[in-house]
Structure 1
Amino acid sequence: MNKQKKPKLKLNRKYLIYISNFLIISGVIYLFLIFFPIIKPEIEYQLHRLFKSNNQESSNLNSDESTNSVKIPIEKPLSVTPVSTEFGIIIEKINLNTDFQPDIDISTREGYWQALENGVAHAKGTKYPGQIGNAYLFAHSTVDPLNISKYNAVFTLLHQLEKGDSIVTFYKGTRYNYIVDSKDIVDPTNIEPLTRDFAEPVITLQTCYPPGTSLKRLIITAKMEE
């Protein structure tokens, strides 16, 4: 009787191995598809940065360094057409070009979560781009993996910004240029970035950090160019 059971036992083990391998591979594929909205922008950003760096080096080799001409500061032309000049934001470094919804009430979860489905939101009660004070724009990520692509796509690469980087906003048809002044990571309960005031035009960008979680808040502070 024992000899008759052994082949069956081996067969069962063989099926278990197949099932285990299938579940592992399926799990890896599932995780890849779920987190792909975060991975894809990061890969595209690094490739774009590498390509841009190579082109810049080639351009520098062909430029005439012996000229003594005086450089006159002018408004840098954009490489993209703004999605919106009524309420818009462009950050060329991270290939961001989108509109934002103004005057979103952040006191009601239903209101701002619905707004975030469409992209960037402007906090009601804060200033608008170009005005003296704090203009507050935010785009959240989510701890729910199934909703990562729904809520986190817009500001996924915000962490790549550094001091001195350029942010362009549009409000009521007018362009306003900002320069990143600081980058901070704060607790979710810290509302100081929202309530602070300034004696000059400042824009604050907020998103959850790390991307795809709600553990912390990433705060980008930028001052308007003079």
Structure 2
Amino acid sequence: MDFREKPINLLIEIRKVFLFFCFSFLFFFLILSLNQAFGYFRNQLNVFETQAQVLKEGLPSASTLSPIAEKESQTEKIKFILTEKPDSLEIPRLSLGVPLIFSKTPDIKEVVKDLLKGVAVYPGSALPGQGGAGRMFILGHSSPPGFPKLKYYWVFSKLNDLETGDEIFINFEKKQYRYQVTQKIFLEKGGEIPINENGSQQFIYLITCWPPGQDLRRLAVEAVLTD
């Protein structure tokens, strides 16, 4: 046997051991990273559950919303354009187009389900085209930066980018209504949304939790129906 083969064989064995430890370390690191990622994902889903409850805090009851529109309905001619688009919300500045889901009940379990399908119109909100004064409340999730775009968890993450005068479009029953942003309102948990008392105009309020992906505060964007 050639004695020169022994160092070569030893080097081969050392390399095998080294590669084994390298792959073991990488495998351990991968498992640890996946565990952390899944843990983060689970925690964020729990936050989304609480977001739904926070979103509806401080909103007027259905009994105080509907009569406003009903009492003055048909008193004004609402301007719109015809469209073939389904019921939806569009915000050009955010390159956003999302289904408009009309919640049938304020029950939190139902609101949670509706928020997974698009943005939820709070029960009792005045609907576009009713005429007269009215307020429409639209709820949507916000997610932290980098979170995957799943089930509309992300839909209002960039709501704070809107500025006064920006356009918002509501497509409802084959008609499109145009709104313009009037103000942004930041609210603490449980705080009531200050409602514009101008009795001759229709307003929408886009509401999400703030900062994105958390449930510490709320952000409401107010917009008024325009000609």
TM bin (shorter chain)? 0.5 to 0.7
Q: Once the two structures are superposed, what CA deviation does each residue of 1:34-76 show, in whole Å capped at 9, x if it has no partner? A: 78xxxxxxxxxxxxxxxxxxxxxxxxxxxxxxxxxxxxxxx9x
2:186 corresponds in structure 1 to 185
Give, in angstroms, the shift of residue 128 of structure 1. 1.1
Amino acid at match of 2:204: I
Quick one: structure 1 residues 211 and 104, their matched pair in 2 at CA, closer, same or farther if it must change by over 3 Å? Answer: farther
What fraction of aligned residue pairs are identical, expressed as a percent?
A: 25
Distance 2:148 2:104 in 1: 21
Matched-pair contact (CA < 8 Å) for 2:143–2:154: no
Q: Where do residues 28-47 of structure 1 align in structure 2 (5 Å cutoff)?
A: none
Q: Which runs of 5 or more residues in structure 1 are unaligned?
A: 1-10, 36-74
Matched-pair contact (CA < 8 Å) for 1:206–1:220: yes
1:152 corresponds in structure 2 to 153
2:101 corresponds in structure 1 to 101
Q: Could you say what the CA RMSD is over the residues aligned between the two structures, in angstroms? A: 3.7
1:115 corresponds in structure 2 to 114
The yes-or-no answer on 1:136 pairing with 2:117 is no
Distance 2:206 2:109 in 1: 21
1:42 corresponds in structure 2 to none
TM-score normalised to structure 2 length: 0.59
2:45 corresponds in structure 1 to none
Matched-pair contact (CA < 8 Å) for 1:169–1:177: yes
Amino acid at match of 1:90: E
Report SS of the residue matched to 1:112: helix
Give the paired residue count: 165
2:210 corresponds in structure 1 to 209
Report SS of the residue matched to 2:150: helix
Distance 2:128 2:204 in 1: 7
Distance 1:104 1:198 in 2: 27
Report SS of the residue matched to 1:150: coil
Amino acid at match of 1:136: F
Amino acid at match of 1:204: Y
Amino acid at match of 1:150: K
Distance 1:169 1:20 in 2: 54
RCO comparison, higher one (Cα < 8 Å, 6+): 2
Which is higher, the Rg of structure 1 or of structure 2? 2
2:3 corresponds in structure 1 to none
Report SS of the residue matched to 2:138: strand
Q: Once the two structures are superposed, what CA deviation does each residue of 1:5-56 show, in whole Å capped at 9, x if it has no partner? A: xxxxxx9xxx6x987777667739965xx78xxxxxxxxxxxxxxxxxxxxx
Amino acid at match of 2:184: K
Distance 1:168 1:160 in 2: 16
Amino acid at match of 1:98: V
Give, in angstroms, the shift of residue 173 of structure 1. 1.8
Q: Which runs of 5 or more residues in structure 2 are unaligned?
A: 1-16, 42-78
Matched-pair contact (CA < 8 Å) for 2:103–2:114: no
Matched-pair contact (CA < 8 Å) for 2:143–2:214: yes
The yes-or-no answer on 1:161 pairing with 2:162 is yes
Give, in angstroms, the shift of residue 221 of structure 1. 0.2
Quick one: structure 1 residues 22 and 188, their matched pair in 2 at CA, closer, same or farther if it must change by over 3 Å? Answer: farther
